Structure 1
Amino acid sequence: MQQRPELSIGDPAERIETPALILDLDVFEANLHAMAEFARMRGMRLRPHAKTHKCAEIAKRQMAVGAVGICCQKVGEAAALVEGGVGDVLVTNEVLAPERLARLVRLTDRANIGICLDSDLGLDRLNAAAQNAQRRIDTYVELEVGANRCGLVEISDAVALAEKIHGTAALRFAGLQAYQGAAQHLRMRAERKAAIDHAAARAAAFVAALNARGISVPVVTGAGTGTFPLEASSGVYNEIQPGSYVFMDRDYGDNQADPESPAFRHSLFVLASVMSRREDFAVIDAGLKAHSVDSGYPAISGRPDLVFDTPSDEHGIIRGPRQALPALEQRLRLVPGHCDPTVNLYDWIIAIRADKVAAIWPVDARGALN
């Protein structure tokens, strides 16, 4: 981990060295409470996804306002979050390596742990590892619901796997993982609704088939920031897993708004400085190593007249009308195209309130953890 920024709480934001990952704390808190209130009013369980922020402090704040627990994608992320004091973590992914499963099981002495399965091999290895668990592991069957990634395709196979989980002593059948990741950035609401209608129908068929065998499905979980109002109104899901809502990014901002969703705002930015200036463009100190461009280039907060262009490793080009181009040393806030992999480039999130440093939080689970 990089050395903690040489800042003190209360320092003016102008002391932050660039490029840096900064958080507007007022907007972040508004986003946090808006989602919690949405879930409460709809009677939904909220289990936010920590792959967005990888930060135990943020996870604990989400749970403090009502989240039942946190999602993550890897055992290493789960370990970092539990080490940071998070007491309920669901790994929304398949894990087959015995050594990783053993590491996951060791976390049960400090937290409630859940995991997803889509194979008999995964079940056999998890069950073997779970014999050493301090508490039963919540185990979810993952169903393929349209994203064409992980999950069982045949309902009958998913039901058979659930029955096997139900018959084990060390595992607890906790429900169904039915996440449609590919739907999150379908631009039009009607497109997203069609995708989630399909996912909900698949999930409902699984629940009905298992109920017919006398087994209840405690939780049907899924949903992301782009679709959660649709899962919440489906009558099938009872838990949602949005992650990016705490930060938002440029790509989510390009989606047609859902009238049922709270109006989340951008709270996360890459703070950059102008390091060189020409007559027709400016150069900033935030290039490919400062933010992810897998979902396109960042927007420039508060400056619709400027565009980010042609990044290299350490440089980004800012274009716009000549009279509007920023001056040397002027600072800009970039709205990342995709917040999750951008956060993963940083060791620290610097939270700002009223243009002063309010907090500095470690990105506990950053990197390609196994």
Structure 2
Amino acid sequence: MYQPGVGDALDALDTPAMIVDLTLMDDNIGRLMERFRVRNVRVRPHLKTVKSPELALRLLAAGAVGGCVAKVSEAEVMAEGGIEDLLITTEIVGRPKLARLVDLLRKHSLIKVVVDSVEGARALDAAVGAANLEAKVLLDLNVGQDRCGVTPGEEALELARQIGEMEHLQLIGVQGYEGHLQHIHDPQERQRRCQQAMQTLTGTAEQLRTAGFPIQIVTTGGTGTAEFCADFDGITEVQPGSFVFMDTDYRNALGGVYSNALTVLATVISRPTPNRAIIDAGLKSLSIDSGMAEPKGWEQLAYQPKGDEHGALVWRDEADADQELPLRIGDRVEMIPSHIDTTINLHDTYYAYRDGRIEAIWPISARGKVQ
């Protein structure tokens, strides 16, 4: 079977194919790292976006202190790929997951986890204790997203006290993720609400320190809020992930701070009517949970999913509906995803290019790692 290789032109790729403009990606990474370097706040990128040890290592080389992952299975992939300092940002519950975590901790002692309940902490303590290990933990605080997280203040203090009595857990920090604020379009509103969340997070961290707990890490922030978080005293690190590639949802919220470096290359396979072009990228290639993908360079056109394998490009403005589309069968179109994380999870491979030629091919090793 024919496989494109490094040095080939993008024309060699079959479609749909996920392609990465290295010039734009490197600029995104360099720009973000510099913004936080001058703020003296560490960057721990969330690797659930890139899902690739190769890309994680590039982020470390650019200045990241480690990485975040959402699941134990992602941590397994990243640790095997050489990323040691990992924070698992989702609560780990159930014997199968705890057994996998213990296996990881035997080899990778820098891995850290979050807890938000006494029940979860006790189960974790028992699992690592049975293996004669210790786990570094952060309290996961609810700072307004109303997902996971212990209530800040007295409930968090009581949970910390309970953890302090456990032999095999070491409380080292707090996490508070304001995911509900990431895509607020009004920057003043996003900043105002982020500051409220940061007051809650850093205030609880100070309460814990006053009570005698050695809180070293206060971690928070996604691509949409990280810079606001970093300007708040007491924040030690931020967790942006989507900035590496960007998508239309973040672009619509942030403007042009970072560039859309990743697209899905598709081919026009049918022109059934003058005002409709069908491409070979449908729901199995482009996620639509955050809206429709957009054809790059064709702002006057809109994308409509037409099933698993097909998508339609039509005029965005109904006033143009009777005009013929300027696309022919065989033309290629780059589609900008609306949600980068879920789109990447649909693909096996990154084709990274510069000046129209493939420079690197990276497997998406953590694709589908949901456990």
Q: TM-score, normalised by structure 1?
A: 0.94
Candidates 266, 291, 308, aligned match of 1:296: 291
Which residue of the partner structure matches residue 234 of structure 2? Answer: 236
> Where does residue 26 of structure 2 map in the other structure?
29
Partner of 2:349: 348
> Which residue is 1:137 aligned to?
135
User: Shift of residue 85 of structure 1?
Assistant: 1.6
Determine helix, strand or coil for the equivalent of 1:42: coil
Question: What is the distance in 1 between the residues matched to 2:186 and 2:361?
Answer: 37
Whole-Å separation in 2 of the counterparts to 1:26 and 1:227: 24
> How do 1:317-332 and structure 2 match up within 5 A?
317-320=312-315, 322-332=323-333
1:285 aligned partner, one-letter code: D
Q: CA deviation at 1:142?
A: 0.7
Which of residues 43, 49, 54 is equivalent to 1:57?
A: 54
The whole-number CA distance in structure 1 between the counterparts of 2:193 and 2:148 is 17
Of 260, 268, 279, the residue aligned with 1:266 is 260
Shift in Å, 1:361: 0.6
Write the letter of the residue equivalent to 2:312: I
Aligned pair 1:123/2:121, yes or no? yes
Give the deviation of 1:210 after TM superposition: 1.3
Which residue of 87, 105, 112 corresponds with 1:108?
105
Indicate the SS of the match to 1:255: helix
Within 5 A, what are the aligned runs for 1:43-54?
A: 43-54=40-51
Residue aligned with 1:289, SS: coil
How much identity, in percent, do the aligned residues show? Answer: 37
Distance, in Å, in 1 between the alignment partners of 2:36 and 2:203 is 24
Q: Which moved more, 1:147-156 or 1:205-214?
A: 205-214
Q: Distance in 2 between matches of 1:110 and 1:40?
A: 31
Q: Secondary structure at the match of 2:253?
A: coil
Output the amino acid matched with 1:307. Answer: A
**Aligned pair 1:79/2:76, yes or no?**
yes
Q: Please give the alpha-carbon distance, in whole angstroms, between the structure 2 residues aligned to 1:357 and 1:344.
A: 21
Closer, same or farther: CA 368–110 of 1 in aligned 2, 3 Å? closer
1:93 lines up with 2:90 in the alignment: yes
Deviations 1:192-236 (A, max 9, x none): 112212211111221222122122311110100001111001113
Aligned equivalents of 2:171, 2:131: Cα separation in 1: 15
Q: Which runs of 5+ in 2 are unaligned?
A: none
Asked whether the equivalents of residues 171 and 214 of structure 2 are also in contact (C-alpha less than 8 Å), the reply is no
Name which of 220, 223, 228 aligns with 1:222: 220
Shift of 1:95: 1.1
1:192 is aligned, of 179, 190, 193, to 190
- Give deviations 1:157-203, integer Å, cap 9, x for gaps: 11122233344443221200111011001111122112212211111
Q: Structure 1 stretch 92-101 or stretch 322-331: which is displaced more?
A: 322-331
**Structure 1 gaps, min length 5:** none
Count of paired positions:
363
- Does structure 2 retain, via aligned residues, the 8 Å contact 1:174–1:217? yes
SS at structure 2 position matched to 1:17: coil
Query: 1:41 offset after TM fit, Å?
Result: 1.1
Of the three residues 298, 303, 306, the one matched with 1:308 is: 303
CA deviation digits over 1:223-277, x for unaligned, max 9? 00001111001113111000000000011111144xxxx8210011111000011
Deviations 1:286-331 (A, max 9, x none): 0111110000001111221221124321111111354553111111
Cα-to-partner distance string for 1:35-86 (whole Å, 9 max, x where unaligned):
1112211100110001111111111111111111111111111111111221
Amino acid of the residue matched to residue 136 of structure 2?
A: D
For 1:56 and 1:163, locate their aligned partners in 2 and report how far apart those are by CA, in whole Å. Answer: 36
Alignment partner, residue 168 of structure 2: 170
Q: Is the 8 A contact 1:105 1:132 kept in 2?
A: no
> What one-letter code is carried by the residue in structure 1 that aligns with 2:269?
M
The answer to whether the 8 A contact 1:108-1:133 is kept is: no
Note if contact 1:318-1:325 (Cα within 8 Å) is conserved in structure 2.
no
RMSD (Å), alpha carbons: 1.7
Does the 8 A contact of 2:248 with 2:293 survive in 1?
Answer: yes
Q: Displaced runs of 4+ in structure 1, greater than 6 A?
A: none
